[in-house]
Structure 1
């Protein structure tokens, strides 16, 4: 089942490993199954003393296993410090992310939402849009912001930017692949009622699907569409 926007090369920007699976894993799997190239750029890496090196290596391996389940063509790791992007020169991040995305040349770009509670997500959103500026004919024709459980709805909607989706992707056929990919992140899976639980992933997919009269869906905010 092809995607409605006929994307052939997709880039997903993840502030941290597993954000991309939580936010748009079903869409990624559907695109890969339809023959599109799906690329992921993971911006940060846990670093001591906040994160033990053994855990960091474990999460890196989990990321690659999850991407294999989804059908990701290639994964780039930029290795900026997790929970520390506010300490990085913005020009350095912009340049590194733009360079990574330029190698992909996506026609569809999926990025975290500006209203996520994690400051890393907000910074990555802005850095991705620096790359996506329509300053030539080779930029992405479509930019979508995805929602991430435990990040997108934990700020203060009404005071801060609220996630109000206006694009829905049917993932009825790929929801279970998304769940399997998230379960590959054994270090991150939590028991219900935590938002990072399998039950929460299925519940959100069911809710977003019902909004569009589908069994399961992922929701996005359309940032830009160029026809």
Structure 2
């Protein structure tokens, strides 16, 4: 049926032995795939490593407090390991070599057969940067003659923007665990109702699934040999570059507008403007007389 071209009509859980989850900020790992991580944690002989790439310092409070929230969520969801890096929050796109090097190191160390990362359709610049870097690193591995056979697929998750999904995972059984894990991020819930928004998205994702499915998480999965073709089809780096350039231009125009406004304000409050006010009034009245 044509509907299944747009979204899956069945839930397909993940099965893996070694999993690496790449999260740009503390909380992305839970918002994007917390229910799925809780499911995977219940499997025997599985190793799950969550890598928090920045400490989220741009959206306080103290970075250690945000990481502590992720540690409490980890205890609830039950996965084995959480690692924290200190890449610059909000500026990962301008630190691409360091980002790619960090991702490469974790993939080499843990040799996962399943990698979770944000999607290329995310609106946050750090989310997009992590997605692009992950795909680029995996693409290089797939093309290398010594490419590791254990790197089988990448699963992109959604946080700030719905993705084009090709896999749905029923998280009805772990929904309460995900809700409890999200509740640990009080510093972020004070800023935005991420719990209500993300869980609303998860409920919507059950639209094409059976009636007994209360919530689902959506992913776009790509097998290792198909990553290069995926990149050539969607060109995420070109799209992001266009977005970055447009964003820079908007900032430049805003700065120019502020400068012009400041100059106008200075003129209107200047002594010369006040002194010449009677002359301007006189000239204005002269023009009105001439028109008559």
TM-score, scaled to structure 1: 0.83
Bigger fraction of residues in helix: 2
- Any stretches of 5+ residues in structure 2 without a counterpart? 1-11, 227-292
Which of 82, 85, 88 aligns to 2:92? It is 85
2:87 corresponds to 1:76: no
Aligned length: 207
Equivalent residue number for residue 21 of structure 1:
30
Equivalent residue number for residue 164 of structure 2:
164
What SS is found at the alignment partner of 1:45? coil
Equivalent residue number for residue 208 of structure 2:
211
Which of 99, 103, 108 aligns to 1:102? It is 108
Q: Greater CA deviation, 135-144 or 70-79?
A: 135-144
2:231 corresponds to 1:220: no
In the TM superposition, residue 128 of structure 1 has moved relative to its aligned partner by 1.1
TM-score, scaled to structure 2: 0.65
Structure 2 CA distance, aligned partners of 1:32 and 1:220? 18
What SS is found at the alignment partner of 1:96? helix
Bigger fraction of residues in strand: 1
In the TM superposition, residue 220 of structure 1 has moved relative to its aligned partner by 0.7
In the TM superposition, residue 62 of structure 1 has moved relative to its aligned partner by 0.7
- Any stretches of 5+ residues in structure 1 without a counterpart? 154-162
Equivalent residue number for residue 115 of structure 1:
121
2:69 corresponds to 1:62: yes
Q: Is the Cα contact below 8 Å between 2:166 and 2:220 reproduced in 1?
A: yes
